[in-house]
Amino acid sequence: MLIVGAVFLLALTDALVKYLSDSMSLWQLYVIASLLSLPVLGGLLIGPSGPRPRIKSLRWVAIRSLLLLFMWIAYYAALPLIPLSVAAAAIYTTLLFIAVLAIFSAGERLSWQAWVGIGMILTAGVVVLRQQ
């Protein structure tokens, strides 16, 4: 349920950015998003949520965070210029890239169910892109 909720919130955020991009600039959207998300993150860090995971390498966490920041800036900057369905199809193909990187960089093996899921995602992406 948490994953479904997170995906719903991601889709809602994309739709809001697309809708508000005519009346607000990108930096204003980021400020508003930060003002909404920082209290939630602060509450999760401070609240009694049990043991917290230990960070093994702060450097890699910082690199990942910066790359994610640049990715979201590029994504939201492009969002007003492309149809929302194309943006959604593009963002959900990241699963393919994660799978390929896991195979080649970490030596992981994917089950046949994972490959079927990846195939379904790619098929859905192609269908959406061909309709545009």
Q: Is 89 exposed, middle or buried (0-12, 13-18, 19+ CB in 10 A)?
A: buried
Residue 23 and residue 59: Cα distance in Å, rounded? 38
**Percent of residues, the chain, with pLDDT higher than 70:** 93
pLDDT at 126: 79
Contacts of 26 (CB under 8 A, 6+ apart): 73, 76, 77
Q: What pTM value is reported for the model?
A: 0.60
Q: What is the pLDDT of residues 80-121, one digit of tens each?
A: 888 877 887 777 777 788 888 888 888 888 889 988 988 888
